[in-house]
Amino acid sequence: MTEPTFATLVSRWYEENARDLPWREPGIGAWAILVSEVMLQQTPVVRVLPAWHAWLTRWPDPAALAADTPAEAIRMWGRLGYPRRAVRLRDCAVAIVERHGGEVPDKLDQLLALPGVGTYTARAVAAFAYGQRHPVVDTNVRRVVSRAIVGEPDAGPATRPADLVACEELLPIEPAAAALASAAFMELGAVVCTARSPRCPVCPVEPVCAWRASGQETPAGPTRRPQRYAGTDRQVRGLLLGVLREATGPVPHQRLDQVWADDVQRARALAGLVTDGLVEPVGEAAFRLAGDGPATPIPLP
């Protein structure tokens, strides 16, 4: 009898142990999956869940979001972090309406051409929404492949083209099985083959794991040093956005001056928000969220 493949072992485990997440429900739709993938970037599932539900309740399809303003997308994003994602998601919705009649495209090249959709997100939507065979490679998947296949305890800080090739070689030929395996690899890295405390005794591929066979130890520290937040421009940007999100109109410069005592850092953070398209000046002495006015309807082609 032929031994089960690596993908088969992980997929069987996934079918019995996968977390019950709403964007994994059958028939959930490509838009809901796209929103989840954008929100989950550098953000824990526990924080994404309420934001995802609220977002889809308000904007259940791309046309609904495209018809609203960038400012409302930024407001709705709240404190989820990295708020440029909100603007990109709204730009993406506009492009979907203008180019694809309001339906998330199912072709990889069309997904890659959408604003704010990169290599990972495009492949994730193609695989998880449309059941296609594409390597879906994030940090968790790279760690699983590095350990179980290559025998190295860590995959390094950045995704390389070789990572896509290595992952694709592990996928079953049949598209639906490949899409399942892609989700399974990701889940295994997220909940079992974790960076600092891997749960090797319950791992479905522990008997064939090259890293376990090598006897190497888990790295003592993270590959990437955690980013400091307190006192950084990121913190100041968040405080400024917090004031602007709560406002119902332009906010005078004097009000924003109260957010942070360091004039130079505050000005730099505010200028960065303007450059990133999150905030816009109103006259010479006030600011508001970008596009904080009546939305311009975008007709379906």
Environment class of residue 220 by beta-carbon count within 10 Å: exposed (0-12), middle (13-18) or buried (19+)?
Answer: exposed
Which residues make Cβ contacts (< 8 Å) with residue 43, sequence separation at least 6? Answer: 80, 81, 82
CB 152 within 8 A of CB 201: no
CB 62 within 8 A of CB 104: yes
Active-site position among 15, 16, 25, 37: 37
CA 256, CA 236: separation in Å to the nearest integer? 10
CA 16, CA 4: separation in Å to the nearest integer? 17
Environment class of residue 246 by beta-carbon count within 10 Å: exposed (0-12), middle (13-18) or buried (19+)?
Answer: exposed
CA 127, CA 178: separation in Å to the nearest integer? 8
CA 236, CA 209: separation in Å to the nearest integer? 45
Identify each DSSP E strand in 12-123 by its residue range.
none
Question: Can 103 be counted among the known catalytic residues?
Answer: no
What's the length of the chain?
301
- 34 by DSSP, 3-state: which? helix
- Spell out a b/e string for 170-179, using b for 16 or more CB atoms within 10 Å of the CB, else e: bbbeebebbb
Token match 């009649």: residue? 101
CB 192 within 8 A of CB 198: yes
CA 165, CA 171: separation in Å to the nearest integer? 10
**Residues annotated catalytic, as ranges:** 37
